[in-house]
Structure 1
Amino acid sequence: MTPSLLILTGSGVSAESGLGTFRDTDGIWAKFDWQRLATPEGFRDDPSEVHAFYNARRQGLRGAAPNAAHAALATLEAAWVRSGGEFTLVTQNIDDLHERAGSERLIHMHGELLRSRCAACGDLRDCDGDLSITMSCGACGREGQLRPHVVWFGEIPIGMDEIYALLPQATHFAAIGTSGAVWPAAGFAEEAGRAGAKTWELSLDAGESGHAFTHAIYGNATETVPAWCERLLSETFS
């Protein structure tokens, strides 16, 4: 059987790059009101406030750099594929640190901060600057319809058909730096395990779906992820 590795990453992977996590006691949603800033209704009621929030996050991302965990996952991808395996990295993160580290086989299930989307026509564009309600869509020309290309509460994550097609085929599954509290991603480990995959949880501590994993490794991502990647490659292809 061809080794098939599916990895899910969350904000814990980028925390050591200086980007905030979401659900920790001092995380982003402990400091900001997600109902006002991360819902279609919040954007409808006060788009300027939503834009200001994401403009600040975009600015913060420009000053961040990939860390050792991002680099290790990119190295793992290259070696895994070179050895004849199938590899997919699904991330809940909206930053671009995986790409900057060299990851290529990537699904951003919660969208991408450095892209904009027109709420009127759906046009997607790269966007590394600020957005505002006065800007017009480059495709349809409508003003005030541009929004961050991120999945808000109540919206359907991106790439779900592809992800659910990959899960039963996975021989190996790992969730890295994610709380296990956000659905549907919280159910991925159980789905992969049901199909026979070996499953790992790599996090600071046990997440809410920790029961679904056969292996657990706890600690900082920059320490645990590189070691796990090296060991997994050795055990799988040696």
Structure 2
Amino acid sequence: MRIGIVTIFPDFVKVIREYGVIAQAVENGLLHIDIFNLRDFTTDKHKVVDDYPYGGGPGMVMKPEPFFRFFEFFQSNYGKAYVILTSPQGRRLDNKVAMELANKEQIVIICGRYEGIDERVMKFVDDEISIGDYVLTGGELPAMVIVDAVSRFVPGVVEEESVKNDSFYNNLLDHPHYTRPREIDGMSVPEVLISGNHEEIELWRRKESLKKTMLKRPDIFMKHEFDELDKKALISLFKELIRDAR
């Protein structure tokens, strides 16, 4: 998968491809992350990318010409891409959206700045994506969040089993995790996890996942499609709650 990021702060976003599993995926050729400096597509000696808004008002607006030149360059060299603008007006990024974008062969993410971009640039944009109902100083952080979330669903970047056990997959939060030591400050690892009984471990993890989701995110719990393991886990959970209430 190829991902392009268009920004006026390339040094800000380049770290996304330099650490962790994404860096490994880039090294192994599973991901190609290209970072484009919008100022390289200006023609004046000061490399200006913004100007005052028509009609007056506060702030500056990103000029259309550098974007037009960028897309002419990109399409000539890389072909057609699915273009995303990071925007608080866009649809909310979630696991479903990330999975959808991971199926695209090539995406380009535009990092907005200032008061926004000239509306005429929208002719190139296929999608607007927000990472939450708040405003940031620029689109670089949202772009990095999008890249990270999408990359996890690109085959080979992360183990498939790990992705399936993550929070929000199938509308459930993740179960608790433990590692060594077995006991610390009077707190022990649950006995079931060291029992060696894989069926019981799987049941315990699902039960804890259901419990955590009910308590913390009842909104997504109601969207979960229950299978046989869920039913067994819920019975176990209800028995546990009744026992604790006595």
TM class by shorter chain equals: 0.3 to 0.5
Which has the higher Rg, Structure 1 or Structure 2? 2
The structure with higher relative contact order (CA 8 Å, sep 6+) is 1
The TM-score, its normalising length taken from structure 2, stands at 0.32
The TM-score, its normalising length taken from structure 1, stands at 0.33
More helix by share: 2
